[in-house]
Amino acid sequence: MASYDDVMSLSVRRGFLWPAVDLYGGFAGFYDYGHNGVLLRRRWEDLWIETFLGLSDNYYLIDTTTILPEAALKASGHVDHFTDILVTCTRCGESYRGDHLLETKTHEEHEGLTPEEIDARIRELKIRCPNCGGELGPARAFNMMFPLGIGPMGKDRAYLRPETAQGVYLNFKREFEALRRKLPMGLAIVGRAYRNEISPRQGAYRMREFLQAELQIFFDPATFADLVPIGAAGSEPLRIAWAHEKNEPTADDVSSKDAVGRGLPSWYVYHLIQVQRFYLNALRVPRDAFRFAELDEKERAFYNKIHFDVQVKQESLGGFKEVGGVHYRTDHDLKGHESGSHAKQSITFGSSKLVPHVLELSFGVDRNVWALLDLTFHKGERAVLRLPPRLAPIGVAVFPLVNKDGIPEHAERVYAQLQRRFTAFFDDSGSIGRRYARMDEIGTPFSVTVDHETLEGKGVTVRERDSQKQIRVKEADLPDTLTRLLSGESSFVA
Ligand code: GAP
């Protein structure tokens, strides 16, 4: 179990991520990634792309601009509705999110309240400014987008995009024409989003600049259920906390049949199964640390008709925390852009003419990276990051046992060979124990050591991170053995 400070200190010490611009006293809500952090993040992104774009051969990756003109974000509803409730202290001027003030006092979530409701609850609970004890001013809606003035006079109003999704909607029709003119069609973006969070906190959990991985699936609501093979999706129960039990510490195991019985469309349940599989099987999140949390009508985002958060239990953040969401956005966005731009967004597909509906699978990359660090970091006597081998920044380390007798030269040759296939790391400094310890702490699953027996043709040793056991492998077999171990195709047997 790792506290917030444990995860942050590992993260800084071992080059994953840290608060940006610390030379100038920091820059709240902004984080920089080091080499190991970038590698871990990219491995997560690759696995995400492989998993979710792999759901259909009509799903694709695109890339769009991160600055959007006001007209587009007005049409999407963000200019008017993308708000949090801001409360400011009348004495010291410190700003707070209204729902967070209530949450801190009651230990329950308070999403979806109006400014008036927040004011009433603040008075009822007698909440004062946490910073100075002063009286809190009236709650008001605060738009979270960063405004920009484009051009030399700054006349054209624009915003940094608050979600990657809008870039996809603006390009839907063009892509539909350019690709196979077939539904369902999926368009994904992995890219930056920006939000002027009122109180960025808890490390990578609430950032002002962050990465999202979002897949927008465009479909015809009349036929989607028939096209999505829920029967073939398996029968594993889903971990669900329904809206009325969100403040409970656990989740129910719900069969997909029961989930459909409770009114969720079968195509929606099918995608819940896929998301749960990604977390339990690919990311290896323990079952009891994963759940979907339903949001009720008041809590869900303004564009959603069905909204379940994806949550992972993290000791460092004090319990279940949102890392993603499964959003049924209906035709809200395409219709919005149709009326905002006066360009028809309907398409002809088979015998129907329609504005497609959208199911969005949305994930925060940084929050997922943090969740992995939290779940896999084991402090104890030996600090070790038990990342799934595929996600580890460094796949394999190579060590000469001693720095003499031609062993370092031989180890360099082994390293050069492995480097062509894996992200490998060569280390000849310090005792072998210290070198293992350094690799354990960044999650390197396998370490190869070259020793005197290697020079006698008896192969190298391969040590596994978690069991610390070793096997001897012939040099000629080493690349293939490591490939199978890293992909999970074979397991390490000592
Ligand atoms: N396109 C839908 C959308 O943006 P969202 O729930 O607002 O929905 C999606 O955001 C995901 O983006 C969240 O589940 C979370 O993982 C991540 N995210 C949102 N705000 C964030 C922030 N301030 N810092 C880090 N990640 C954030």
Q: Which atom of ligand 1 is nearest to the CA of 309?
A: 14
Q: What is the pLDDT, as a whole number, of residue 42?
A: 98
The pick from 212, 311, 321, 330 for probing ligand 1's pocket by mutation, whose C-beta has the most ligand atoms within 8 angstroms, reads 212
Which SS3 state, helix, strand or coil, does residue 280 take?
Answer: helix
Using a 6 Å cutoff on CB, does residue 459 contact ligand 1? no
Residue 377 sits at φ, ψ, to 5 deg, of -85, 120
Contact present, 159 and 70 (Cβ < 8 Å): yes
Using a 6 Å cutoff on CB, does residue 308 contact ligand 1? no
Q: What is the pLDDT, as a whole number, of residue 180?
A: 83
Using a 6 Å cutoff on CB, does residue 143 contact ligand 1? no
Contact present, 7 and 29 (Cβ < 8 Å): no
- Determine the distance separating the centroid of ligand 1 and the alpha carbon of 1, expressed in angstroms: 25
Contact present, 422 and 396 (Cβ < 8 Å): yes
- Determine the distance separating the centroid of ligand 1 and the alpha carbon of 165, expressed in angstroms: 11
| Residue ranges, the chain, pLDDT below 70 | 249
Q: Which atom of ligand 1 is nearest to the CA of 214?
A: 1
Using a 6 Å cutoff on CB, does residue 299 contact ligand 1? no
Residue 195 CA from chain centroid, whole number: 16
Residue 421 sits at φ, ψ, to 5 deg, of -110, -30
* 4-79+145-376: CATH number: 3.30.930.10
Contact present, 87 and 98 (Cβ < 8 Å): yes
Using a 6 Å cutoff on CB, does residue 207 contact ligand 1? yes
The pick from 189, 195, 362, 370 for probing ligand 1's pocket by mutation, whose C-beta has the most ligand atoms within 8 angstroms, reads 362
Strands 347-349 and 17-19: unpaired
Q: Tell whether the torsion through CA atoms of 233, 237, 239 and 240 is positive or negative.
A: positive
Using a 6 Å cutoff on CB, does residue 447 contact ligand 1? no
CA–CA distance, 385 with 266 (Å, rounded to integer): 38
Q: Which atom of ligand 1 is nearest to the CA of 303?
A: 2
Using a 6 Å cutoff on CB, does residue 322 contact ligand 1? yes
Instruction: Return the beta strands (E) in 301-433 as ranges.
Output: 306-314, 319-330, 347-349, 352-354, 357-364, 377-378, 384-385, 396-400, 424-426
Q: Measure the CA angle with vertex 436, ends 433 and 442; round to 5°.
A: 145
Q: What is the pLDDT, as a whole number, of residue 202?
A: 80
Q: What is the pLDDT, as a whole number, of residue 127?
A: 97
Q: Tell me whether domains 4-79+145-376 and 83-143 share a fold.
A: no
Using a 6 Å cutoff on CB, does residue 197 contact ligand 1? yes
The pick from 190, 205, 210, 279 for probing ligand 1's pocket by mutation, whose C-beta has the most ligand atoms within 8 angstroms, reads 210
Strands 185-194 and 59-61: parallel
* pTM for the structure as a whole: 0.96
Q: Is the CATH number 3.30.530.20 carried by domain 394-487? A: no
Using a 6 Å cutoff on CB, does residue 17 contact ligand 1? no
DSSP 136: B
Which SS3 state, helix, strand or coil, does residue 89 take?
Answer: strand
Give domain limits for the chain: 4-79+145-376, 83-143, 394-487
Task: Provide the CB-side half-sphere exposure for 273 (13 A, CA).
Answer: 24
DSSP 405-436: TTHHHHHHHHHHHHHTTS-EEE--SS-HHHHH
Using a 6 Å cutoff on CB, does residue 368 contact ligand 1? no
Cα dihedral 236→242→246→248 (10° resolution) = -60
- Determine the distance separating the centroid of ligand 1 and the alpha carbon of 234, expressed in angstroms: 29
The pick from 145, 163, 329, 359 for probing ligand 1's pocket by mutation, whose C-beta has the most ligand atoms within 8 angstroms, reads 163
Whose Cα sits closest to atom 20 in ligand 1?
206
The pick from 198, 304, 367, 368 for probing ligand 1's pocket by mutation, whose C-beta has the most ligand atoms within 8 angstroms, reads 367
Q: What is the pLDDT, as a whole number, of residue 333?
A: 98
322 strand-pairing partners: 311
CA–CA distance, 451 with 456 (Å, rounded to integer): 9
CA–CA distance, 194 with 82 (Å, rounded to integer): 12
Using a 6 Å cutoff on CB, does residue 258 contact ligand 1? no
Q: What is the pLDDT, as a whole number, of residue 274?
A: 96
Q: Which atom of ligand 1 is nearest to the CA of 325?
A: 14
Q: Which atom of ligand 1 is nearest to the CA of 163?
A: 4
Q: What is the pLDDT, as a whole number, of residue 107?
A: 87
pLDDT digits (tens, 9 = 90+) for 462-471: 999 999 999 9
Contact present, 163 and 132 (Cβ < 8 Å): no
Using a 6 Å cutoff on CB, does residue 246 contact ligand 1? no
The pick from 145, 168, 322, 332 for probing ligand 1's pocket by mutation, whose C-beta has the most ligand atoms within 8 angstroms, reads 322
Which CATH class for the 83-143 domain? alpha beta
Q: What is the pLDDT, as a whole number, of residue 420?
A: 96
Q: What is the pLDDT, as a whole number, of residue 494?
A: 85
Q: Which atom of ligand 1 is nearest to the CA of 368?
A: 16
Using a 6 Å cutoff on CB, does residue 451 contact ligand 1? no
Q: What is the pLDDT, as a whole number, of residue 250?
A: 74
Q: Which atom of ligand 1 is nearest to the CA of 197?
A: 23
Q: Tell whether the torsion through CA atoms of 430, 436, 441 and 444 is positive or negative.
A: positive
Using a 6 Å cutoff on CB, does residue 165 contact ligand 1? yes
CA–CA distance, 192 with 30 (Å, rounded to integer): 12
Residues 6+ apart with CB under 8 A from 156: 69, 149, 150
Q: What is the H or E stretch that residue 164 is in?
A: none
Using a 6 Å cutoff on CB, does residue 163 contact ligand 1? yes
